[in-house]
Amino acid sequence: MTAPINFNRPAMPAAAYRYLRQAVGNMHLSGDGPFTKRCHALLETILGAPKTLLTTSCTHALEMAALLLDVRPGDEVVVPSFTFVSTANAFVLRGARVVFADVRPDTLNLDERQLPALLTRRTRAVVPVHYAGVGCEMDAICAAGVPVVEDNAHGLFGTYNGRPLGSFGAMAAQSFHETKNISCGEGGALVLNDPAFVERAEVIREKGTNRSRFFRGEVDKYTWVDVGSSYLPSDALAALLLAQLEARADIQARRRAVWDRYRAGLADWAAEGRVRLPHVPDHCGHPAHLFYLLLPTLDDRQALLAHLKARGIVATFHYVPLHLSEMGAKHGGRPGLCPVTEAVSDRLVRLPLYFDLTDADVDRVLDAVTAYRVPAGREPVADVLARAAEPRRAAAA
């Protein structure tokens, strides 16, 4: 019997086991040990950031950003509806009202053309999400005149106009969840591009104490000085993360090879079936985080998923629109508010993509996908998305 092809499998370089044994041998398994410090330094080099701080998750990095921006009840935060719940929850926890933005029909990123209509005097932040690691239009977003927090969960190693994603906003949140290119199982990082936030970020991350200053010898004891929580991951997790970061060239090269084979192998099938493949603008460099298909209808999406499952291939859909959720309704969400998001969510399929995926596995996926025939007469999905976006464009004009 042919083994199934999983949707995801984290890379595990040989150094990961060696580093984990070293972390245990160091008897420093709590946060901010030697492996954490090495991860901080490496991430700062990769991103060109003044400071990065490992966190227990990308969710917690976003929560720290909300604290650093002093988000309060009555504030508003603009987020795309097509994202994971943490993008909104981090600010809702501080009492903010979420303002949902629709996404562009090409990159599936927050549509920057909507911002003038969404921003008010109460807007405290805009939180763009670099979907699939393809950069949002950061020049326009950063020019909007409000603080920007990049949700860069997908975008490590991606670029926009030659600059690393995660380097544009005052802050950025990274994810090292098991499903990401670089992973320690559960983990994240807060990237601080504005040095003015660094000292307070250290305090918030250390339960509201100035413990970091104490360890640097800047004070003779540490005490409670601000709000905060325990956002430090174990140094054992940092050991796993460091091994992956050091192996990033190999990991990224393999993921890119798989992504490129999907793109080339599915181009003709997609054109014939009126299916759309990922769009990457010329000014963006993507990290091969995920490869998706946009099918003409929800029925087509469900049929393709079943077709792949029957052949032992685990594919999946992605985000359910936040503005259509129970919590989203409490923040003004309603059907039709973000029509492109609704159309995309019903039609998207993500294919397996990970470091250990073999060429034979990729061949199986390609054979299985191209064996599925979209029913004749379907409207091209690109036309569906363009029509969904039209009311928003008219309103912006």
Q: Is the distance from CB of 307 to CB of 71 less than 8 angstroms?
A: no
Structural domains for the chain: 14-246 (3.40.640.10), 248-396 (3.90.1150.10)
pLDDT over 70 percentage in the chain: 98
State the pTM of this model.
Answer: 0.95
Query: pLDDT for 264-321, tens place per residue?
Result: 999 999 999 999 999 999 999 999 999 999 999 999 999 999 999 999 999 999 999 9
Q: What is the pLDDT of residues 222-249, one digit of tens each?
A: 899 999 999 999 999 999 999 999 999 9
What sections of 274-357 are H helices per DSSP? 298-310, 326-330, 339-347
* CA distance to 85, 187, 293, 350, 369, per residue, from 312 (Å): 30, 30, 18, 15, 12
The answer to whether the beta carbons of residues 23 and 239 sit under 8 Å apart is: yes
Helix (H, G, I), strand (E, B) or coil at 336: coil
Instruction: Report pLDDT digits (tens) over 206-223.
Output: 999 998 888 888 888 889
How is residue 184 written in tokens?
């320690």
Are the C-beta atoms of residues 183 and 66 closer than 8 Å to each other? no
